[in-house]
């Protein structure tokens, strides 16, 4: 607006409208072409103000006024032809689609240097590594150049769009930066290889001549790293010994998961090659092998305790501690204090023994129910215990031996009662006949 006022006079600027309904924001301005003729008189003349010469200068002046905002003048004297806006946007979309895969950043592929060999054969190894690095540089730079060439061809094919030129310029800058950065990285690695080669060569010479500063430093560093690795292994072993370990093979498998392997000389750190025998380790301040044996036994005992046989053995041991005979049954019921007398009466009615048990911290009370698997009322006792398991707020604890034998006793007693009933009917029938 200020540019137009200064150029044509504030009174001659009729309208100034910003349009943002298209891809590129632009301004429509209407001015009155007031100027002076050869005689110095004010006149209305569009030909004098707007002709090829004045319009070219107008572009130059406007670019100068807007330079601080980043606006650049078009190419002066360009022979480009005017294109319909639909055609321009069509070119832009086609160019964007073709440039999209080409303007993606070039993927930097790191080159992995092989492990340096021993003292022998290092010259050959160094030459091979340099050749491989140079080949990798050439390959990746060649790939970037091919993409640049294809991007350039697309931009040329759709020349006339400033956005296309800017996209190509950005691609050139990105690709050049990536190429230079990767080349610099590879050069730094190459220098690192040279430095490592020189250091190892120095150490080799010093060792051959009876030792030196570098070899002593290397030896001291090796001792520190070895001790750190040993301490790390001790922690791994101590943690592993707390886990379920059935045998030595399972123990070694756990070490392998933590980055250690078993070699012919002992346990090996897969990262730095440190090797330790079982004697080098003192987990928990004790010898390793007795602790490993104890961990295996502990695991086997825990697994047996969870098995059916283990649970039965535990129950039998508890019965022996209580002095409970095989034919004697026992169940412990836990309930609220308000239910004690009712439950006690129910079991006394079926001829079961009832003993008071412990009172828990939460106020709940235990009753111990005792009986014999062979007593005449075993069916009633069995029914009552089955019902107790369904009572609200009541828990029943009994071992599998008692549960199985009371159920078997109840079934056996039912068969006995059935046989007695049948026999009684037979006797009654015989008396009536006589």
Q: Which CATH architecture group holds 327-424?
A: 2-Layer Sandwich (3.30)
| pLDDT at residue number 57 | 87
Residue 304: C-alpha distances to residues 245, 247, 298, 301, 359 (Å): 14, 15, 10, 5, 32
CATH for the 2-69 domain, from 1.10.260.40, 3.30.930.30, 3.40.50.150, 3.10.129.10? 3.30.930.30
| Ranges under pLDDT 70 in the chain | 78-123, 125-126, 147-183, 186, 190, 193, 196-197, 199-204, 206-211, 425-434
Instruction: State how far the Cα of 333 lies from the Cα of 134, in Å rounded to an integer.
Output: 84
Instruction: State how far the Cα of 429 lies from the Cα of 20, in Å rounded to an integer.
Output: 117
- pTM of the predicted structure, to 2 decimals: 0.39
- Structure tokens of 221? 């560093």
Instruction: State how far the Cα of 128 lies from the Cα of 254, in Å rounded to an integer.
Output: 39
| pLDDT at residue number 156 | 54
Q: Please check whether residue 106 is in contact with residue 140, taking contact to mean a CB–CB distance below 8 angstroms.
A: yes
| pLDDT at residue number 97 | 63
- Structure tokens of 19? 């349009």
Dump pLDDT digits (tens) for 342-360: 999 999 999 999 999 899 9
| pLDDT at residue number 434 | 47
Task: Give me the percent of the chain exceeding a pLDDT of 90.
Answer: 26
Dump pLDDT digits (tens) for 419-430: 888 887 666 665
């Amino acid at each position: 607006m200020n540019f137009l006022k200064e150029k044509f006079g504030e009174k001659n600027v009729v309208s100034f409208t910003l349009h943002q309904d298209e891809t590129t924001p632009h301004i429509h301005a209407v001015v009155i072409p007031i100027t002076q003729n050869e005689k110095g008189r004010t006149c209305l003349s569009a030909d004098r103000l707007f002709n090829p010469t004045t319009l070219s200068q107008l572009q130059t002046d406007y670019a100068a006024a807007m330079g601080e905002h980043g606006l650049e003048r078009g190419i002066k004297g360009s022979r480009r032809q005017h294109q319909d806006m639909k055609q321009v946007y069509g070119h832009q979309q086609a160019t964007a689609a073709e440039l999209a895969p080409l303007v993606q950043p070039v993927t930097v592929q790191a080159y992995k240097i092989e492990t340096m060999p021993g003292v022998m054969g290092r010259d050959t190894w160094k030459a091979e590594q340099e050749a491989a690095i140079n080949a990798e540089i050439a390959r990746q730079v060649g790939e970037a150049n091919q993409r640049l060439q294809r991007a350039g061809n697309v931009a040329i094919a759709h020349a006339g769009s400033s956005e296309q030129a800017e996209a190509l310029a950005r691609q050139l800058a990105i690709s050049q930066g990536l190429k230079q950065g990767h080349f610099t990285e590879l050069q730094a690695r190459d220098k690192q290889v040279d430095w490592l080669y020189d250091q190892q060569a120095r150490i080799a010479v010093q060792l051959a001549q009876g030792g030196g500063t570098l070899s002593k430093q290397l030896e001291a560093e090796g001792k520190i790293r070895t001790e750190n690795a040993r301490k790390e292994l001790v922690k791994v072993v101590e943690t592993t010994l707390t886990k379920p370990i059935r045998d030595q093979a399972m123990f070694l498998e756990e070490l392998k998961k933590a980055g250690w392997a078993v070699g012919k000389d002992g346990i090996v750190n897969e990262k730095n090659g440190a090797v330790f025998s079982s004697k080098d380790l003192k987990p928990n301040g004790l010898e390793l092998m007795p602790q490993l044996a104890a961990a295996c036994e502990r695991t086997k005992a825990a697994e047996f305790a969870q098995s059916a046989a283990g649970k039965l053995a535990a129950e039998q041991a508890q019965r022996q501690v209580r002095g409970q005979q095989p034919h004697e049954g026992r169940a412990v019921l836990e309930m609220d204090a308000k239910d004690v007398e009712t439950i006690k009466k129910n079991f006394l009615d079926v001829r079961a023994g009832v003993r008071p048990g412990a009172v828990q911290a939460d106020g709940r009370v235990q009753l111990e129910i005792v009986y014999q698997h062979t007593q005449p009322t075993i069916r009633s006792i069995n029914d009552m215990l089955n019902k107790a398991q369904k009572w609200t707020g009541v828990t029943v604890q009994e071992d599998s031996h008692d549960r199985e034998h009371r159920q078997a006793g109840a079934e056996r007693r039912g068969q006995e009662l059935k046989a007695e009933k049948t026999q009684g009917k037979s006797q009654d029938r015989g008396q009536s006949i006589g």
